[in-house]
Amino acid sequence: MSLELLEAVRSGNAVLAGELIGRGENPDTRDEKGNTLLMIASYSGNAPLVRQLLDLGANVHLENSSGWTALFMACHNPELDRGFPEVVELLIEAGADIEKSIGYGIRPLMLAAGYGESPVVEVLLAAGAEAKAANEGGRTARQMATDKNYVDVVNLLWEAETSSGEPSACSTPSVVTFHKR
């Protein structure tokens, strides 16, 4: 493990990170929690560094010790209370699995919806994320957004669910009433 490379990425120093990887450092270097450089850059929303790491061969599919990928980390950063749609888009373009699930069947769309990340939800839906997918408890992304009163996200998911022409599992009167507010 290269501490210098980890610190370069943590501090957002793309020049030093690029130099170190160019000298043979592993672009998939991990920290003590199993987070890769790509995960660290994604979590901080550093799109230029994410792009550089992808160009240098960072693996978009790797998971940390909790099963999270860089895509999950870009969907919402609780420390900054925001997600990073530009980073999400870069990761999807690089082949990130938008339907991968972590504990309890949570998918990236559900994570973003549950935190009210409208721009991230838009990117995931545009990439084909399954709006009607349910977690292990039978809850959809729209139900998670409804619970927290994220009206913009609920509306985005409603549109995605109803545009397919198939009835939604959560087209109950209370949800329809919420949607029409």
| CA-based max dimension of the chain | 61
Contact call for residues 64 and 34 (beta carbons, < 8 A): yes
Q: 30 has which bridge partners?
A: 36
Q: What is the pLDDT of residue 163?
A: 85
Retrieve residue 53's tokens.
């790491």
Condensed to tens digits (0 to 9), the pLDDT of residues 64-121 reads 999 999 999 999 999 999 999 999 999 999 999 999 999 999 999 999 999 999 999 9
Q: What is the pLDDT of residue 30?
A: 96
- Domains, the chain, in order of start with CATH, read 98-181 (1.25.40.20)
pLDDT band of residue 149 (cuts 50, 70, 90) is very high
Q: What angle do CA 82, 85, 138 make, to 5 degrees?
A: 75
Contact call for residues 158 and 150 (beta carbons, < 8 A): no
Closest by CA to 142, choosing from 133, 160, 154, 155, is 154
